[in-house]
Structure 1
Amino acid sequence: MPEPVPAPAPATAPPRARNALSAVLLALACLLVPFAVLASWAAHGLTDTGRWVRNLAPLAADPHVRHAAADALGDGVLRAAGPGLRGPAAGPFVRDAARSFTRTGAFATAWDASNRAVHTAVLRAVRADAPPVPVTVDLAPVVDRVKRRLTEDNVPFAHRIPVTHTRVPVLAAGDVDRLRKGYRVLDTAAFWLPLAAACFAVAGIAVAACRRRAVTALGLGTALGGALLVVAVAIGRRLTLADLPVTLRGPAAGAVYDALTATLRTVSWLLCALGLAVALGGWLTARCGPRIAARRRARASAGPAADPAQEPTRARA
């Protein structure tokens, strides 16, 4: 009888093609990781009013921020006082009073309240569907909080401070329109970029001929992406401070930038650490795995050979 013909083995892609496809998918995943982190931070971290206020709250005790706030407050008081109260002695007196105010708890209250009011107004304008209009902030609630705080501290004549509704311009209509478009792009990217990076990473590992090497490459790429993000934050700091007006440049602006990007820098360093840990784990597994497997095979082959050596003893018994 003729021998049965064996069924043909299922066709599989050659290892080179699989490795090439895996490399492309992993490269895309590693490339999208820093952009996904950046978009998520901008879309969710910067739009949370509570987190915004908490991040900026410690700056009320920063000496550079206090000095800048005292100068701005003193100049504003002198402008509002009119030419009748301006003189050689009025300027130093008002600025000394402003510096003294920045060392009190009322300044911290005013700092938090003003940051909350400005962030809420800007966020409301960015998320609105109406035509863009200039953003203004009413300082009456801020003045009211400061007044209550000064009254609680038994400051003389604090209860006589007038609480007037004064609207301060924050953003022009053109700036609101640009921020609105950028916010919509970031909101969409914050959802799709992490999802795409995860899909590319899983597909790249699944397609690879050697998944251990794919995991190691993914860890190294993730660490590299985190390092590039750290460098991007540092470059962004320099460019942001350079674009500010001359009157706003200085250590105070740098402190504000550092406070707002603290979470982004932490996530970037975590990406570096996590990627290096995964890469190191894959390298150690590839290096020590064959040795452990060889020892197990040696023990398994030596186990049955030891049984016949015990038979003569049993026979003599």
Structure 2
Amino acid sequence: MPPRLRSALSAVLIALSCLLVPFGALAAWASYGLADTGRYVTTMAPLAADPDVREAVAKTVGDGILREVDQRMDVRGVRGSVAPFVHDAVRSFTQTRAFRLAWNTGNRVTHDAILRALRAEDPAEEAGERPVTVDLAPVTAQVKQQLTHDHIPLAARIPVEHIAVPVLQAGEVGRLRKGFHVLEVAGFWLPVAAVVFAVTGIALAVHRRRAVAATALGTALGGALLILALTLGRTLTLADLPADVPHPAAAAIYDALTATLRTASWLLLALGLTVALTAWLTRRLHLPRPQRRRPDTTPSTPSQPPTPTRARA
């Protein structure tokens, strides 16, 4: 193969590889990080101790309790004096083991329900004609068991009722299911394609050290763009939230969900720069050094005086 054609093919393959790096990392993170219930629950578990999240939960649950009380009895006259006590009680509950158990169980149940709907594991949900709901009975049962174990008064009288809470509307399931299937395929094949293109491009290159450096710099650029996209996405996500949604809690959840992707982006950036610097240093070390000309040590033969010639008469 002519060297020019090899260089052109190598450049195209390396460019494709560098282009697929950020998309492959994003797809792999979504497919193997967010789509795995165990990893998702492990990621969300520390948020049960986050002050902003606990404050948001206390406010949301406290407001819900007050709304339920308002529907059953008229407490509008004393709402202002009762509300602080209700919120303080819920805030105290968020600092207990029962709340952490309810938080983890609720996340697990919700994630399982969404995954079953997206993967169409239930034949009744395959058509996507009904909304995705979550039954809160398992959450209530585990909280009741924990409170009873802690000898909380009247904990045994907590009713365990099957309450279906909608998570996804019926019209959204079919659209999200198609995107989820594409994401599962892309999460595996995009990183594989990026590696294959990079290896093939380096193998075809005429100057392989330069090809390695170019691939490394492209990988570092992909990691930097991914970091920039995460930062910009965080800003836009928080800006689009309604006014009644606590922004500090939403920021904590966003940071927790994207922590793995952010770490992978920094690793791509650091790895790319390290490999590029190594390739440049090895090239500098292997450059041929100009050799100094050694002085000629051979003894010079003394020149003999010219033989006088007789002039002709």
TM-score exceeds 0.5: yes
Structure-1 residue corresponding to 2:101: 109
Normalising by structure 2, report the TM-score. Answer: 0.86
- Determine which of 281, 284, 297 is the counterpart of 1:284: 281
Equivalent runs, 1:52-131 vs 2, <5 Å: 52-81=40-69, 82-84=71-73, 86=75, 87-88=78-79, 89-128=81-120, 130-131=126-127
Deviation for aligned residue 1:113: 0.6
- Alignment match, 1:44: 32
- How far off its partner does 1:62 sit? 0.5
Q: Quote the Cα distance in structure 2 between the aligned partners of 1:43 and 1:85.
A: 49
Task: For residues 154-205 of structure 1, give each alpha carbon's deviation from its aligned partner in whole angstroms, at most 9, with x where no partner exists.
Answer: 2111111111111111110122222212101111211221122122111211
Q: Distance in 1 between matches of 2:5 and 2:85?
A: 77
Q: Distance in 2 between matches of 1:149 and 1:85?
A: 33
CA shift for structure 1 position 83 = 4.3
Letter in 2 for 1:131: A
Q: Mapping of 1:165-176 within 5 angstroms? A: 165-176=162-173
CA shift at 1:284, angstroms?
0.9
Counterpart amino acid of 1:57?
A
Q: Separation in 1 of the partners of 2:16 and 2:183?
A: 19
Kept after mapping to 2: 8 A contact 1:230/1:269: yes
| Number of matched pairs | 283
CA root-mean-square deviation: 1.9
Secondary structure, counterpart of 1:118 in structure 2: helix
User: Which residue identity does 1:188 align to in structure 2?
Assistant: V
Q: Aligned AA for 1:223?
A: A
TM-score (norm 1): 0.85
Shifted more, 76-85 versus 213-222: the winner is 76-85
In 2, Cα distance between the equivalents of 1:218 and 1:201?
7
- Paired with 1:126 and 1:215, the residues of 2 have a C-alpha distance of 40
The alpha-carbon deviation at position 243 of structure 1 amounts to 3.0
Question: Which deviates more from structure 2 when the two are superposed, residues 234-243 or residues 38-47?
Answer: 234-243
d(CA) in 2 for partners of 1:192 and 1:48? 18
Structure 2: how far apart are the matches of 1:178 and 1:245? 24
Aligned match of 1:301? none
- Distance, in Å, in 2 between the alignment partners of 1:69 and 1:284 is 54
For 1:249 and 1:211, the matched residues in 2 are separated by 53
Moved over 4 A (4+): none
Where in structure 1 are there 5+ consecutive unaligned residues?
1-11, 299-317
8 A Cα contact 1:241 1:249, kept in partner: no
Q: CA deviation at 1:94?
A: 1.3
Specify which of 146, 159, 171 is matched with residue 162 of structure 1.
159
Cα distance between partner residues in 2 of 1:274 and 1:85: 64
In structure 1, give the amino acid aligned to 2:98. Answer: A
Q: Could you tell me whether the CA contact under 8 Å between 2:238 and 2:250 is conserved in 1?
A: yes
State the Cα deviation string for residues 236-288 of structure 1 (Å, max 9, x = none).
Answer: 11222233332224100110011011100011111011111111111111000
Which of 74-83 and 249-258 deviates more?
74-83
Q: Which AA in structure 1 matches 2:59?
A: D
Gaps of 5+ in 2: 293-313
Equivalent residue letter for 1:122: I
Aligned partner of 2:265: which letter?
A: S
1:142 aligns with: 139
Corresponding position: 1:189 with 2:189: no
Give per-residue Cα distances to partners, 1:1-30, cap 9 Å, x unaligned. Answer: xxxxxxxxxxx403x433232222111100
Could you say if the C-alpha distance between residues 52 and 250 of structure 1 is closer, same or farther in structure 2, counting changes exceeding 3 Å?
Answer: same
Q: CA deviation at 1:95?
A: 1.2
Residues in 2 aligned to 1:58 and 1:188: alpha-carbon distance in whole angstroms: 30
Q: Deviations over 1:57-98 (max 9, x none)?
A: 000111100010001111121222234163333222211111
SS of 1:290 mapped into structure 2: coil
Of all paired residues, the percent bearing the same amino acid is: 60
Rounded Cα–Cα distance in structure 2 between residues aligned with 1:78 and 1:141: 24
Tell me which residue corresponds to 2:295: none
Q: Which deviates the most, 212-221 or 149-158?
A: 149-158
Residues in 1 aligned to 2:158 and 2:66: alpha-carbon distance in whole angstroms: 17
- For residues 285 and 95 of structure 1, the distance between their equivalents in structure 2, rounded to whole angstroms, comes to 64
